[in-house]
Amino acid sequence: MIIVAEGPTAVGKSHYVATFPSAQIVGEKPGHVRPPDVADIDGVSRFWTRRSEERWARALDRENDQGRAVCDTDPLKLHLSWTLARAGLSATADEFTRQLELTRSAITRKTLGVADLIACVTLPEDVLREQRKRDISRRRRNFEVHVRLAEPLREWYATLNSVDPGRVAWEWPDVSHWVGRRERYDLDLFDTWMAKLPPL
């Protein structure tokens, strides 16, 4: 079983993930990782797809060892280019289209998949700002961007949930008795999800 905690910064992802045994947790690698500044759209897209595949492999390893993997943010990070473009920020529709092609190929090869359960929690902006203010342990340098991405992120996962009802939870779930596992590499599901997304 692979569970994802997703949402804007300061929403409580890390706190929720920390309620699970550390051996089950798949976090982001430390440090600010980004593609080379000289990379073109294809290079950037390949960079992020490889990163997604690496995190998916780590999630599968945790699941094989522990029976469960809990990811602090979705290994299938395709939503980032889509939400950035949807919010009118740095990414473009062309960047999303190229990453979509690479992601679809990775799903075909089963080096990337859709998690069994995705908890996507978004909170009102004033609540996020208050929670950010209370947590002095983290800088949250991209906070303003994350605030603008919250609604597109909700749209992204709401579309998935419309295609595969129950795959997305809108609050931090108690999964102590949850044993469900869903098809992770279903291209028909993925293609339908992508086709139903709001336009960029």
Residues 199 and 93: their CA atoms lie apart, in Å, by 9
Q: What is the pLDDT of residues 23-72, one digit of tens each?
A: 999 987 765 577 777 789 999 899 999 999 999 999 999 999 999 999 99
Is the pLDDT score of 13 beyond 80? yes
- DSSP type of residue 22: G
> Number of structural domains, the chain?
1
Instruction: For 95-154, give the secondary structure using H, E and C.
Output: HHHHHHHHHHHHHHHCCCCCCCEEEECCCCHHHHHHHHHHCCCCCCCCHHHHHHHHHHHH
Label residue 182 by pLDDT band (50, 70, 90): confident
| Residue 139: domain span | 2-196
Statement: the pTM of the whole predicted model exceeds 0.85:
yes
Report pLDDT digits (tens) over 74-104.
999 999 999 999 999 877 899 999 999 999 9
- CATH number of residue 112's parent domain: 3.40.50
Structure tokens at 60: 């599968």
pLDDT at residue 149, as a whole number: 87
